[in-house]
Structure formats: C-alpha cells, structure tokens
Amino acid sequence: MSSPLVLVLNGPNLNLLGTREPEIYGRTTLADIEAQVRSVAHGHGLAIDFRQSNMEGELVGWIQEARNSAQGIIINAGAYTHTSIALLDALKAVGLPAIEVHLSNIFHREPFRHTSYPAQAAVGIIAGFGALSYELAVAAMAKLLKQREA
C-alpha cells in the first residue's frame, strides 16, 4: 500500500524566505521548511508533493490536479490568502481536506491580512509558529486522513 500523498503549496514570495523580512518570517528558507515537512511526513507515513509559485493560476492548476492524485492539501497562499477567490473556489471544487498555514499570525498584523479566502474551504488554520506551523499542519493532516480511513 502506498503512502497517502499530501500536496503542500506555497504562494508568492515564499521563495524568498530566509532573507525576506526576517523579523517577521524568520531566517528559515523554503528549502529548510521542505526538508522539515518531508521528515515529519515520513514519520507519519505520508508522501509529500512540495511546490511554490508566484503565479495564482499555476497554484489553481495544481489544486485542480490534486483532485486525482492527492489525499489532502496544505496551503500557504502568501498574499493570495487575502485576495484570491480563485484559490477558494479551486479548494472547494476538489473537495480534499485542506489546512491553511502561515508563518506569522496574520491576525496580529495589518487589518487587510485578517481576511483569508482559502480559510473558507479549509478544515483549519495553523499560524504564528514560524516554520513549526508547517510541521503542525502535517501532523494535523496525518490525523485527519487516519480518521477518514477508520
């Protein structure tokens, strides 16, 4: 039996982690986060497809593709969190369990960041724990998928 696949999507500017506003996002790079996610996922018996794009349409396309290949989605939509109805619609359309993740606590930041469109299709949100937010999301997804199997 193969491991359940979880798509981990990262939106715009997350490729700059480690150097972009380290006082907010820390010095951990996206490659560091990917390695942590893969390690934690392995411990939970999950396979990971980890991707990043600065383009909204590409993220939407990957979500749609996940309908036929993945069992869950973890998404840090970056700035698209606050603007993208297209990501919301895609997440709703595929019907997979989704967890939204953020490095910073978006509710302790500028008011425009308090709105999250993907959250409306997500099982839950994990935010404010830096890179650990991703690890917590993987653990939560593993639990969700096990509950669905039972």
Residue ranges of the annotated binding site for substrate are 76, 82, 89, 103-104, 113
* Residue 149, CA atoms < 13 Å, CB-side half-sphere: 10
CA distances from 90 to 61, 95, 146 (A): 8, 9, 24
Instruction: Give residue 93's Cα distance to chain centre.
Output: 17
C-alpha 150/C-alpha 137 separation (Å) is 20
Burial state string for 1-28 with b = 16 or more CB within 10 A and e = fewer than 16: eeebebbbbbbbebbebeeeeeeebbeb
> Alpha-carbon distance 27 to 54, whole Å?
20
Q: Is position 117 annotated as part of the catalytic site?
A: no
Q: Which entry of 25, 80, 117, 134 is annotated as an active-site residue?
A: 25
80 is catalytic: no
Q: Which residue has the tokens 């907010």?
A: 24
Q: Which of 42, 44, 102, 117 is catalytic?
A: 102
Q: Which sequence positions are flagged as catalytic?
A: 25, 102
